[in-house]
Structure formats: structure tokens, C-alpha cells
């Protein structure tokens, strides 16, 4: 049963956001924010993404796209892994719980790496005609990549990047897969 | 003090001595100021004031928005006067708002703001204010702090006993100060008496959108209807108007209208008249008056000329109107929070007269009349009198209430605010005003629940109170703390124009509803655009329509060619921003109009008629961003005979 719950929990990614990036600055007493859902970017407050784009165009950053390929791939990935997880939960040996757990860890890590790469690209692929160009102390061109996890000062903004409820549900689901494996092992050993 | 007051001349002398005395003290110490006054009006940077105060501009025609207790000015809302800063009355969208049956009028004299109410308490949805000169009532929507409706009042002149609302904002009421021939006609002025009429106008207010419509006009005898206030609580359904010139003089009124020992407060049972007209009563008479409505979706005002108005004669509805004798040309007509007391501020009387609503109803029941005026029953003074505040000062004008059983009256001649007790009529305290106070305002004053913490006195004269600015010096407001037994002067602050009354309300009621932007998707402006894809320039004969967008930090298009001398060029400019507090402005060299100041999501239009060939720049007038200085563009103007096609571009 725990395995089934673990397999189902990631579905909550379709309800709750995965990640949130928040930009604070003195001129924004209500910070600008963007939620990253498994299939969408969403404003924290109305028009935030439009206003983030407006801010970022000064330093030559690209507009945050309406859609990225991941919005199609990730939902399918989650649906497939959930499906597999449910089959395992009802049909398979506890050892498969471990395989599912390892698979999920690998899939999630791939997702995070993808997220990091996107962030890096977004923060570094700057328009050569950018209105304002900044350089690092070593002379290299300054990038504006938001933090992957945590908080970071970028010019006049403080950017925060933290997982949201959807990510916690995913994490908990994966953890439950491992718990199910441990419990299954104990049960077998006892009997 | 009380003994001296017995002789008004002595009082004047005494007061002038007192003022001189005060001045000496001022030079030595803080004078009337309490020692920690600064702390009590200090609102720290970034903090908000506790109250909004909407202070009328009088001859400025506008309504200014202040914070209390700091006295900081936030905004001057254009109402009846053109305002080049906000393009009010200059852009194509708001010109219709200043239309009247006399044509476009760029100015008026704004007097008495009053905030809408629900169940006798301020709800903060709208402020109504009267234009005194060319009679009009304006409605300001407090979600946008903009004038969204103006209705002209026919058969009226000197629209002064206005714009006060009933306790559920059923009506906003506008009474005429000057009686006139009704309908207007060519006749000798000397035949005023008996022929001129005074119209009291009841404008219904739509409970949903606040839409105004004249429900009926009560055609009263030819007195001057000076001020008014609604009944509330038990007296809800009645409206009270002070009158002067019951002598019906038409010349040298300062003498001829000051002869009667008593004038009247007219008590009007509007519920009774409403019922009468709902059942088909009253007469439709021809009357031309403009009704101007501004729509927040189209960002455009529309002026409609109305052709008739429903009039009612008091004699048609027996029992609807009574006259309460009130000494000496009463000015302010103020009703206490319970609705029981009606204060007649007899400006030429040494006493303040207070009538009782209960006694009035008893007298009406008992039919104890003292004759009539043009068929309107006159009640006996003694039968309706609740009490008299004996010789509290000179020249009483207006009274407000603190909701704790106290009343505060301004005295113009003796230049002071006097606090007195309802019921016992005793004077509790008096504080000088600098100088010659007119109105006063307690936030929530015209409601069942005044806040009772501060009173703002609005002074007509300041003389030496501020740094001099040539012959014309500022008028001013003074803030007193009234939370204790004694009033304490805390602050002086200059005002815009000459305030005639104000309305105050707890900031919490309004600030959460204050709109931040106009949603671009809801923009229904005829020439509005919602994205850069719709940007274009079109020619229609010699009219050129530019559908232009603005966003940080450029106009689109910013290069336009093909305009010719003799063209009438319409700049329809849409601000595509959707961020709070990012307006853009636009102005064109040589345009015979004002700039535009356009809020996010809004479209506005100005007209430019280029007079000579050349390449003419336009630019953003509001420092919008780090690249504001770069926000500019050019229009090429060719001779009338040229055949250059229209073209437009951005960044090519």
C-alpha cells in the first residue's frame, strides 16, 4: 500500500508547482515571482512573467518562453513512472520497489540537471545588443543565472529559488518507494 | 469669557486682544501647540496615514486627497477644471466630461465632497461633489480616484446645498442657492418675488455602478437654499435645507436678505415624494442638461444631452415639506449622528439653534402651524426647538460631530472652533483658528459613526502663517486632536485652492480596493490596441490615426512618414505595461494641447495639426525607466502637395 501511495504522490505535480523563483528589489515591494509547474510557467502575481521579461531585456536576456519541450516530456515521464510504480505495487516483488526508487532518483536528477542547464542558458545566452552590459571582476561577461537552489544577489535584485509543494510530493513519493522496499524486506526476513 | 460674550462688540475686541496675545506667545514658545504635537502627526517614511481626507478645491474646481494626521498631499483629482498634467479636459477621451448645456466649460467651483454610505456608515465607494457655478454633480470612483460621472442640474443656479448623500446613497441631493425663473425666460429682475423658484434636486444613485439619474426636482419658493444634510436613523427619509433670503430680494442682498429675524430650515420628506413619483406623480418639463459618463473599459467619456426632467410642486404632496423657523440666515445645516438634532448655524445670530426631529414630528402630528409660505406649512419655532447654544461665538458656519455627544462649530468672525455638548448645549472648549475658519471636518462626520479622533478646520485666510508668496497666499487646514476633553492644535498644512468642506474616511476601507493597473485584456477603447501586432497608421482623408503603443522604453512606431501639412493627426496611445506605477507620458512638439499621462493598460488620444514641413520629435514625459531619455520618436511632415505614402516603423 505504501508503494502505491509512493507511486501516486508524484501525480500531485499536476496540481502543485514544482519550483518557484522570486525576485526582490526595492522598487518591488511585492516581489516578482514565477512558479514552475510540470507543464507551465505561471505568474506568482498577475503579469509577473511579463514584468520579469521587461526587466531582463535591459541586460539582453531572452523572454521566458510560453512553453518549453520539457512541458510535454515531464508530464509523460511522470505518468509513465506512476504507471510502472502502480504495477509494481500490486504485482511485483519488494525488490522491484528498490528498482523503482532508483529509477525515480535518476529521472528526478535528470530533471534537475535539465533545469540547471536551462537556467544557465537563460542567464548566459545574452543578446549582443543588450542595452546594459556588465562584466565580472575578471573581465568576463556577467551572467544572470538565477540560483539553482537558495538565494543570490543579481544586480539590484535578490533572487530566490526554492522547490514547492509539487517537488515535495515527488520527493515524498520517491522516499515512500524506498520505505516500502525496506518494510517489504523486513517482512520477508521475519517470515 | 461668558460675560464678555453678552456684548458682541466687546467680544470682537476681546478676541482681537486674545489673538494678539497668542501671537506674542507664538514668538516666545509653541503657542497653542502642545509639546509633543510633532510626534502625533508624524507618519514615518514608508508608513501609511490612518485616514484619507478629500478636501475640495473651491475655485480650483478639483478635489485633493490628503493623508491624516500627516497632512501630506497625495493627489489632486481633476473634477470640474481642465488639468493639463493629467490631460483631463484636454485629451479626446475626457473632453466630453466637461460638456454642459452651455457647451464645453473648462472650470467650476467645487464645494462639498461627500462619501457614499451604506446603512448610515461610509462605504468608501464614491465621493460626490458639486460644481457650484454651472450646476453639476460629479462622482469620483475611489477604486481609481478619477471622476467617472458628471451630471448637470437644470433649473438650478449656484448649486450650493449639494452634494450630500442619504444613508444608503439612495440619493445625492443638489439644492439651488440662487433662485431663478423656472423655466428660464426673459423677465424683469424686479419681478423676482413670487416668480423665481428654487429647485431641490434628488439624483438617484444606482447601487451597483453608482450611475446617477435625476429622479425628481422639488420646485420650492424663491429663497436661497444654502446648505443641506440628510436625516439618519429615525430621521432617515428626510432631508434638511437651510435657507436665507426668505425676503426674496434680488439686489443688495447683504442688506435686503438680512432683514427677517428668522429664515427657515426646509424639512423635506423625500421618501413621501419618491412614493408619489413612483406612482406616476409629478410633471415632465422640458429641460436641457448634460449627462457625462466615463467608462473604465473604453477609457472614454460620453456626453448625452437630456431633454426633460420630472418636477414636483410641494403643494402636490401634502405633508412632504415643512419649514422650521431658524434665526438669521442660517448657513450650515448639520444633523447629528443619531439623526435627532438638526443644527442651524445662523451666521448672523449670536446663538446656535438646534432643532429636534422628535419635536418636529410631534408638531406635524399636532398640526401646530404658524401660517405658511406659498402653501408650505411653517412650524412654530418653540415647538421644534431642542435647545440653543447661547452666544458661543460670532458667525457660526458649520458643525460636525464626534459621535461621543459633542458637536464642534466653526465661527468665521471670531475665528475659532467651539466644542459644545448636545443636549446640555454648554460650551466645553474653544480653540482659535488662523484665520477665519469656514468649514470643518471630522472623518466620518456626516454619518452615524464619526471616528471622533481629529477635526480639520479649513481656513479662508492665512496672512502671516506661512512664508509669503506675493499678494496671493495659500489657504490652509488645521488639524486638532479631539480625543480628549480639550481640543489640541497639532498641525497647519496648506491646501489646494480654497477648501469648502472635506470628507474623511478610515484608510483601511479604501486602500485595499485601490486599483493598481487597468487590465490590458479589458481595454475596449475604440482605438486601443492590446499588442504590438496591432500597431498601425491609417489615413482617412486628411485625418491620420496613429495606433501607437508604449512600453519600457520605446514607442511603437517611433518613426512615421507620410504625414502632410493640413492633416489632423490623432495619436491613440496605449500603454502596454501591466506593472504597478509605470505610467508613460507623451507629448508632441507644437501640439496645441496638453501631454497625455497614460496608466498601464490605458489608451488616450491627443490631436496634433502640424503647420509646417519638417521632422518633428515626440517623447515620453514621465520618467518611466532607466532609458526614459531614449523614449522618443520622429514624425516626418511633408508639404500638403507631396505624395509620400504613410509608413511607420520601429527599430528598422
ω before B69 within 30° of 0 (cis)?
Answer: yes
| A42 in contact with chain B, both atoms CB, cutoff 8 A | no
% of chain B with per-residue pLDDT over 90: 93
Contact in structure between B493 and B477 (CB atoms under 8 Å): yes
B411, β-bridge pairs: B396, B416
- The B-side interface with A (CB below 8 A) comprises 517, 551-552, 577-580, 626-627
Is A47–B626 a contact, with Cβ atoms under 8 angstroms apart?
no
- Cell numbers for B303, please give them: 456626453
Nearest-Cα distance to chain A for B84, in Å, is 28
Q: In A, which residues are within 8 Å of B517 by CB distance? A: 47
In chain B, which residue's Cα lies nearest the Cα of A45?
A: B579
Place of cell 460621472: B149
- Over residues B526-549, the pLDDT tens digits come to 999 999 999 999 999 999 999 999
Is A54–B579 a contact, with Cβ atoms under 8 angstroms apart?
yes
In chain B, which residue's Cα lies nearest the Cα of A32?
A: B579
- Cell numbers for B304, please give them: 448625452
Q: In B, which residues are within 8 Å of A50 by CB distance? A: 578-579
Is B626–A58 a contact, with Cβ atoms under 8 angstroms apart?
yes
Q: In A, which residues are within 8 Å of B626 by CB distance? A: 58, 132
Q: In B, which residues are within 8 Å of A30 by CB distance? A: 580
Nearest-Cα distance to chain B for A169, in Å, is 33
Q: How far apart are CA A60 and CA A45, in angstroms?
A: 24
For residue B579, give the nearest of A47, A58, A131 by CB distance: A47
How many structural domains is chain A composed of?
A: 1
Sheet containing B321-327: order of strands: B224-230, B238-244, B262-269, B321-327, B376-379, B369-373
Q: At what angle do helices A94-124 and A165-190 cross, to 10 degrees?
A: 160
Nearest-Cα distance to chain A for B422, in Å, is 47
pLDDT band at B372 (very low <50, low <70, confident <90, very high): very high
- What ipTM does this complex have? 0.87
Q: In B, which residues are within 8 Å of A131 by CB distance? A: 627
Nearest-Cα distance to chain A for B578, in Å, is 6
In sequence order, which residues have a C-beta less than 8 Å from that of residue B154 and are 6 or more positions away?
B101, B135, B199, B214, B217, B287, B288, B289, B309
| A50 in contact with chain B, both atoms CB, cutoff 8 A | yes
B580, B625, B629, best to mutate vs chain A, most A CBs in 10 Å = B580
- Cell numbers for A39, please give them: 507543464
Place of cell 415643512: B322
**Could you tell me the residue ranges of all domains in chain B?**
24-185+197-511, 520-649
For residue B1, pLDDT beyond 50: no
Nearest-Cα distance to chain A for B291, in Å, is 35
Instruction: Annotate B92-153 with DSSP letters as a single string.
Output: TTTGGGGEETTEE-----B---EEEEETTEEEEEEEEEEETTTTEEEEEETTTTEEEEEEE-
In sequence order, which residues have a C-beta less than 8 Å from that of residue B101 and are 6 or more positions away?
B152, B154, B288, B289, B290, B305
Contact in structure between B614 and B637 (CB atoms under 8 Å): yes
Candidates B66, B60, B18, B19; CA nearest to B500 is B60
| A133 in contact with chain B, both atoms CB, cutoff 8 A | no
Q: How high is the pLDDT of residue B33?
A: 62
Is B626–A46 a contact, with Cβ atoms under 8 angstroms apart?
no
Q: How far apart are CA A51 and CA A57, in angstroms?
A: 10
Positive or negative: CA dihedral B98, B103, B106, B111: negative
Positive or negative: CA dihedral B415, B416, B417, B419: negative
- Cell numbers for B251, please give them: 439686489
**Which of A98-112, B52-66, B77-91 shows the lowest per-residue confidence on average (mean pLDDT)?**
A98-112
pLDDT band at A184 (very low <50, low <70, confident <90, very high): confident
Sheet containing B72-77: order of strands: B72-77, B63-68, B51-56, B502-506
User: What's the rounded mean pLDDT across residues A60-84?
Assistant: 93
Q: What is the number of alpha carbons within 13 Å of residue B271 lying toward its C-beta? A: 11
Structural domain including A48 reads 2-190
Q: How far apart are CA B425 and CA B431, in angstroms?
A: 17
In chain A, which residue's Cα lies nearest the Cα of B580?
A: A28
Q: How far apart are CA B20 and CA B600, in angstroms?
A: 54
- Over residues B628-642, the pLDDT tens digits come to 999 999 999 999 999
Homologous superfamily assigned to B24-185+197-511: YVTN repeat-like/Quinoprotein amine dehydrogenase (2.130.10.10)
For residue A51, give the nearest of B579, B626, B627 by CB distance: B579
Is B579–A58 a contact, with Cβ atoms under 8 angstroms apart?
no
- Over residues A7-20, the pLDDT tens digits come to 999 999 999 999 99
For residue B287, pLDDT beyond 80: yes
User: What's the rounded mean pLDDT across residues A127-155?
Assistant: 91
Angstrom distances, CA of residue B291 to CA of B99, B430, B540, B634: 8, 44, 30, 39
Question: Within B449-571, where are the H helices?
Answer: 507-511
Is A47–B551 a contact, with Cβ atoms under 8 angstroms apart?
no
- Fold of the domain spanning B520-649: Immunoglobulin-like (2.60.40)
Q: How far apart are CA B220 and CA B372, in angstroms?
A: 13
- Over residues B137-174, the pLDDT tens digits come to 999 999 999 999 999 999 999 999 999 999 999 999 99
Categorise residue B400: left if φ over 0, alpha if ψ from -120 to 50, beta otherwise.
beta
For residue A50, give the nearest of B578, B580, B627 by CB distance: B578
User: What's the rounded mean pLDDT across residues B581-595?
Assistant: 97
Nearest-Cα distance to chain A for B551, in Å, is 9
For residue B578, give the nearest of A30, A47, A58 by CB distance: A47
Looking at every residue in chain B, the average pLDDT score rounds to: 94
N-to-C CA span, chain B: 82
Residues 52-111, chain A, touching B (beta carbon < 8 A) = 54, 58
| A131 in contact with chain B, both atoms CB, cutoff 8 A | yes
pLDDT band at B3 (very low <50, low <70, confident <90, very high): very low
Amino acid at each position: 500500500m505504501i508503494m502505491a501511495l509512493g507511486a501516486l504522490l508524484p501525480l500531485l505535480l499536476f496540481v502543485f508547482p514544482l519550483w518557484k523563483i522570486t525576485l526582490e528589489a526595492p522598487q518591488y515591494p511585492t516581489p516578482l515571482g514565477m512558479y514552475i509547474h510540470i507543464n507551465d510557467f505561471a505568474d506568482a502575481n498577475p503579469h509577473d512573467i511579463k514584468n520579469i521579461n521587461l526587466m531582463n531585456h535591459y541586460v539582453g536576456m531572452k523572454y521566458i518562453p510560453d512553453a518549453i519541450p520539457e512541458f510535454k516530456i515531464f508530464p509523460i515521464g511522470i505518468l509513465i513512472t506512476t504507471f510502472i510504480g502502480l504495477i509494481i505495487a500490486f504485482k511485483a516483488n519488494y525488490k522491484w520497489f528498490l528498482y523503482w526508487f532508483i529509477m525515480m532518483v535518476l529521472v528526478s536528477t535528470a530533471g534537475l540537471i535539465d533545469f540547471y542547464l536551462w537556467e544557465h542558458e537563460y542567464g548566459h545566452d545574452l543578446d549582443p545588443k543588450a542595452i546594459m552590459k556588465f562584466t565580472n571582476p575578471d573581465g568576463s561577461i556577467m551572467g544572470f543565472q538565477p540560483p539553482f537552489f537558495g538565494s543570490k544577489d543579481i544586480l539590484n535584485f535578490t533572487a530566490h529559488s526554492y522547490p514547492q509543494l509539487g517537488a515535495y510530493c515527488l520527493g515524498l513519493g520517491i522516499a515512500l518507494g524506498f520505505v516500502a522496499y525496506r518494510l517489504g524486506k523486513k517482512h520477508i526476513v521475519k517470515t | 469669557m461668558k460675560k464678555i460674550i453678552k456684548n458682541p462688540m466687546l467680544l470682537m475686541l476681546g478676541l482681537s486682544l486674545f489673538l494678539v496675545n497668542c501671537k506674542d506667545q507664538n514668538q516666545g514658545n509653541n503657542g497653542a501647540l502642545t509639546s509633543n504635537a510633532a510626534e502625533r502627526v508624524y507618519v514615518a517614511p514608508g508608513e501609511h496615514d490612518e485616514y484619507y481626507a478629500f478636501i475640495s478645491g473651491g475655485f480650483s474646481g478639483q478635489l485633493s486627497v490628503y493623508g491624516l494626521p500627516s497632512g501630506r498631499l497625495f493627489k489632486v483629482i481633476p473634477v470640474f477644471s481642465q488639468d493639463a498634467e493629467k490631460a483631463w479636459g484636454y485629451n479626446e477621451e475626457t473632453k466630453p466630461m466637461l460638456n454642459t448645456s452651455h457647451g464645453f466649460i473648462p472650470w467650476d467651483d467645487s464645494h462639498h465632497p461627500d462619501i457614499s454610505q451604506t446603512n448610515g456608515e461610509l462605504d468608501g465607494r464614491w465621493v460626490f461633489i458639486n460644481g457650484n457655478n454651472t450646476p453639476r454633480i460629479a462622482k469620483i470612483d475611489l477604486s481609481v480616484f478619477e471622476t467617472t460621472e458628471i451630471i448637470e442640474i437644470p433649473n438650478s443656479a449656484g448649486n450650493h446645498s449639494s452634494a450630500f448623500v442619504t444613508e444608503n446613497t439612495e440619493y445625492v441631493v443638489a439644492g439651488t442657492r440662487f433662485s431663478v425663473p423656472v423655466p428660464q425666460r426673459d423677465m424683469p429682475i424686479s419681478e423676482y418675488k413670487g416668480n423665481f423658484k428654487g429647485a431641490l434636486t434628488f439624483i438617484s444613485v444606482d447601487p451597483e455602478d453608482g450611475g446617477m439619474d435625476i429622479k425628481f426636482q422639488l420646485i420650492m419658493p424663491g429663497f436661497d437654499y444654502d446648505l443641506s444634510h440628510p436625516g439618519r436613523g429615525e430621521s432617515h427619509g428626510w432631508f434638511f435645507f437651510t435657507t436665507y433670503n426668505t425676503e426674496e430680494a434680488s439686489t443688495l442682498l447683504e442688506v435686503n436678505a438680512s432683514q427677517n429675524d428668522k429664515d427657515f430650515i426646509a424639512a423635506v420628506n423625500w421618501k413621501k415624494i419618491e412614493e408619489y413619483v413612483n406612482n406616476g406623480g409629478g410633471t415632465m418639463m422640458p429641460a436641457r442638461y448634460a449627462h457625462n459618463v466615463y467608462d473604465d473599459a473604453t477609457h472614454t467619456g460620453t456626453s448625452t444631452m437630456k431633454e426633460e426632467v420630472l418636477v414636483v410642486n410641494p403643494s402636490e404632496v401634502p405633508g412632504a415639506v415643512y419649514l422650521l423657523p431658524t434665526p438669521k440666515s442660517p448657513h450650515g445645516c448639520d444633523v447629528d449622528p443619531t439623526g435627532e438634532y438638526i443644527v442651524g448655524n445662523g451666521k448672523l445670530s449670536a446663538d446656535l439653534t438646534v432643532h429636534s426631529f422628535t419635536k418636529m414630528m410631534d408638531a406635524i402630528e399636532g398640526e401646530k402651524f404658524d401660517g405658511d409660505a406659498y402653501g408650505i406649512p411653517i412650524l412654530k419655532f418653540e415647538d421644534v426647538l431642542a435647545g440653543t447654544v447661547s452666544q458661543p461665538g460670532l458667525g457660526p458656519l458649520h458643525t460636525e460631530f464626534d459621535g461621543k455627544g459633542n458637536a464642534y462649530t466653526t465661527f468665521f468672525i471670531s475665528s475659532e472652533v467651539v466644542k459644545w455638548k448636545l443636549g446640555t448645549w454648554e460650551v466645553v472648549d474653544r480653540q482659535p483658528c488662523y484665520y477665519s475658519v469656514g468649514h470643518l471636518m471630522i472623518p466620518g462626520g456626516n454619518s452615524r459613526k464619526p471616528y471622533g479622533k481629529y477635526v480639520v478646520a479649513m481656513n479662508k485666510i492665512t496672512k502671516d502663517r506661512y512664508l509669503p508668496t506675493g499678494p496671493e497666499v495659500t489657504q490652509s487646514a488645521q488639524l486638532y486632536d479631539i480625543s480628549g476633553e480639550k481640543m489640541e492644535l497639532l498641525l497647519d498644512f496648506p491646501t489646494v485652492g480654497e477648501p469648502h468642506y472635506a470628507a474623511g474616511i478610515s484608510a483601511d476601507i479604501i486602500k485595499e480596493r485601490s486599483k493598481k493597473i487597468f487590465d490590458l485584456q479589458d481595454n475596449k477603447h475604440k482605438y486601443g490596441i492590446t499588442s504590438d501586432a496591432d500597431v498601425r497608421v491609417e489615413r482617412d482623408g486628411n485625418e491620420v490615426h496613429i495606433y501607437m503603443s508604449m512600453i519600457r522604453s520605446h514607442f511603437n512606431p517611433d518613426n512615421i512618414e507620410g504625414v502632410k501639412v493640413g492633416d489632423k493627426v490623432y495619436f491613440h496611445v496605449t500603454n502596454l505595461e501591466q506593472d504597478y506605477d509605470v505610467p508613460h507620458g507623451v507629448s508632441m512638439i507644437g501640439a496645441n494641447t496638453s501631454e497625455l499621462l497614460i496608466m498601464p493598460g490605458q489608451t488616450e488620444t491627443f490631436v496634433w495639426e502640424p503647420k509646417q514641413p519638417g521632422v518633428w520629435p515626440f517623447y515620453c514625459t514621465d520618467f518611466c525607466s532607466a532609458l526614459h531619455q531614449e523614449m522618443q520618436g520622429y514624425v516626418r511632415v511633408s508639404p500638403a502637395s507631396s505624395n509620400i505614402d504613410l509608413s511607420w516603423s520601429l527599430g528598422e
